């Protein structure tokens, strides 16, 4: 059984120098700090202890019994006889053969520990996905700051232009009012984005496992080139069939179910052994003090024997336990098949959503370019009196919406990629 010891994970230069944290830094931090990983680690440690408990039945059992007594006897026409006895007895018992009961219990405990280990690794995999998801949401909200800043700048320009035209008698007062309304609405969206960023940081802190009094620090974010986002994507080279096959080989959840089947099989073999006898080697050695009044009491006494213990009837207890173990085995196999179907659906959905996100990004890139061009043309038409404020405002809003959609599609793609990685057990 191999396990990733998160306490030994290397610290990056960012963690050592307190610089801006990268995604890998945040994942490392989460693997060290997350309470749910620690809980799973403790479950695994307890499961390993059960292996040692099961193996202990193969080791000899030693018992020491020490006693002291005082008593006496008196016969008719004779003096009474009093005596004190100090004695000690060592008993030893060694299992010789039990038709697979103990070996079945050991195999069951080992398989159960392996299942616990697989569940621990699955928790780690889930945690990595949670960190990635929270990280990309934070970066998305931070990137939208650029969009809101652009919107505020365009609204301010339009308000200034409308005021000049109104003062020159070219446009009416309503254009100024509309421009002011749009400016305030843009400021409201910018303020909401400011709080969205704060909420995203809180979510990321919670996912990592940081306390309320601990500071997350700066998060590294590369500057986005809004004109070339599509060509900067990390891509997956797996086909959907390859992704499914990869998941069947690497998902720790499936490995846990395979271990549960082995556990159920071993438990069944251990219970079946109850129908047969168990052979033991037994031995006793007794040492006691003897005085003159105990002429027939031995100072030392010892014996060794081979014993067979066979339960002939236990009120159908073994029969019912066997039936229950068979049901547990069938249930474990059914859970495995159900898990395979769920994982296949999860992989297929993640795979399709990944390419849906990529295509959405490609179209969003084209849309933002077209919307920007339309916005410029609408502004020129407005300058020359060929269009009204409604056309300019609509073109500006379409342009801002296309930029927001572009940013969202970009980070949707990376969340989809993280989801696919988790789905296939990468």
Domain count, the chain: 1
pLDDT for the residue 216: 81
pLDDT for the residue 415: 94
Dump pLDDT digits (tens) for 261-288: 999 999 888 888 888 888 888 888 888 7
Dump pLDDT digits (tens) for 301-330: 888 888 888 888 777 878 888 898 899 899
Residue 74, in any domain of the structure:
no
User: Would you tell me the crossing angle of helices 317-383 and 389-424 to the nearest 10 degrees?
Assistant: 150
Residue 304, in any domain of the structure:
no
Residue 295, in any domain of the structure:
no
| Band of pLDDT at residue 179, cut at 50, 70 and 90 | confident
Beta strand ranges found along 293-364 (DSSP E): 300-309
Asked whether the beta carbons of 322 and 295 are under 8 A apart, the reply is no
**Full-model pTM:** 0.81
- Percent of residues, the chain, with pLDDT higher than 70: 91
Own/partner pairs for 159-163, CB < 8 Å, 24+ apart?
159/183, 161/382, 162/389
Residue 160, in any domain of the structure:
yes
For residue 45, give Cα distances in angstroms to 1, 120, 128: 12, 11, 22
Residue 202, in any domain of the structure:
yes
Domain holding 140: CATH number? 1.20.1600.10
pLDDT for the residue 8: 42
Mean pLDDT of 236-263: 90
Residue 280, in any domain of the structure:
no
Q: Which tokens is 341 given?
A: 């179907």
Q: pLDDT at residue 410 above 70?
A: yes
Residue 356, in any domain of the structure:
yes
pLDDT for the residue 11: 43
pLDDT for the residue 124: 92
Looking at 123-127, 169-173, 281-285, which range is the least confident one?
169-173
Dump pLDDT digits (tens) for 335-349: 999 999 999 999 999
Supply the range of the domain harboring residue 151.
6-58+111-275+317-424
Residue 395, in any domain of the structure:
yes
Q: What is the rounded CA–CA span in Å between residue 15 and residue 26?
A: 9
pLDDT for the residue 77: 67
| Band of pLDDT at residue 1, cut at 50, 70 and 90 | very low
Dump pLDDT digits (tens) for 345-399: 999 999 999 999 999 999 999 998 999 898 888 888 877 777 777 788 888 889 9
Mean pLDDT of 245-264: 91
């Amino acid at each position: 059984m191999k396990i990733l010891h998160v306490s030994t994970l290397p610290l990056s230069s960012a963690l050592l120098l307190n610089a801006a944290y990268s995604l890998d830094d945040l994942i490392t931090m989460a693997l060290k700090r997350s309470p749910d990983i620690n809980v799973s680690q403790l479950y695994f440690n307890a499961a390993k202890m059960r292996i040692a408990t099961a193996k202990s039945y193969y080791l000899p059992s030693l018992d020491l019994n020490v006693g002291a007594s005082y008593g006496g006897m008196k016969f008719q026409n004779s003096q009474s006889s009093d005596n004190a006895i100090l004695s000690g007895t060592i008993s030893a018992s060694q299992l010789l053969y039990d038709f697979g009961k103990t070996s079945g219990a050991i195999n069951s405990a080992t398989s159960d520990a392996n299942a616990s280990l697989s569940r621990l690794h699955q928790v780690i995999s889930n945690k990595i996905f949670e960190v990635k998801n929270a990280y990309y949401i934070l970066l998305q909200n931070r990137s939208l700051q650029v969009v809101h800043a652009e919107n505020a700048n365009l609204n301010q320009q339009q308000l200034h232009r409308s005021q000049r035209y109104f003062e020159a008698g070219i446009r009416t007062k309503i254009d100024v009012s509309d421009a002011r309304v749009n400016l305030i609405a843009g400021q409201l969206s910018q303020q909401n984005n400011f709080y969205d960023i704060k909420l995203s940081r809180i979510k990321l802190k919670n996912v990592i496992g940081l306390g309320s009094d601990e500071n997350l620090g700066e998060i590294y974010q590369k500057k986005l080139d809004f004109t070339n986002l599509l060509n900067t994507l990390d891509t997956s080279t797996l086909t959907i069939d390859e992704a499914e096959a990869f998941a069947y080989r690497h998902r720790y959840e499936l490995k846990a179910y395979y271990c549960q089947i082995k556990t159920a099989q071993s438990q069944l073999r251990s219970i079946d052994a109850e129908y047969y006898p168990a052979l033991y080697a037994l031995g006793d050695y007794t040492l006691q003090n003897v005085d003159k009044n105990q002429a027939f009491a031995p100072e030392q006494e010892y014996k060794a024997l081979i014993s067979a213990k066979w339960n002939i009837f236990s009120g159908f207890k073994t029969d019912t336990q066997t039936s229950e173990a068979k049901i547990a085995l069938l249930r474990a196999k059914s859970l495995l098949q159900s898990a395979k179907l769920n994982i296949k659906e999860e992989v297929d959905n993640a795979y399709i959503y990944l390419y849906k996100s990529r295509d959405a990004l490609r179209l969003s890139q084209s849309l933002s370019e077209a919307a920007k061009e339309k916005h410029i043309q609408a502004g020129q038409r407005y300058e020359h009196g060929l269009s009204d404020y409604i056309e300019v405002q609509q073109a500006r809003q379409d342009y801002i919406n296309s930029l927001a959609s572009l940013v969202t599609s970009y980070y949707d793609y990376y969340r989809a990629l993280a989801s696919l990685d988790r789905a296939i057990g990468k």
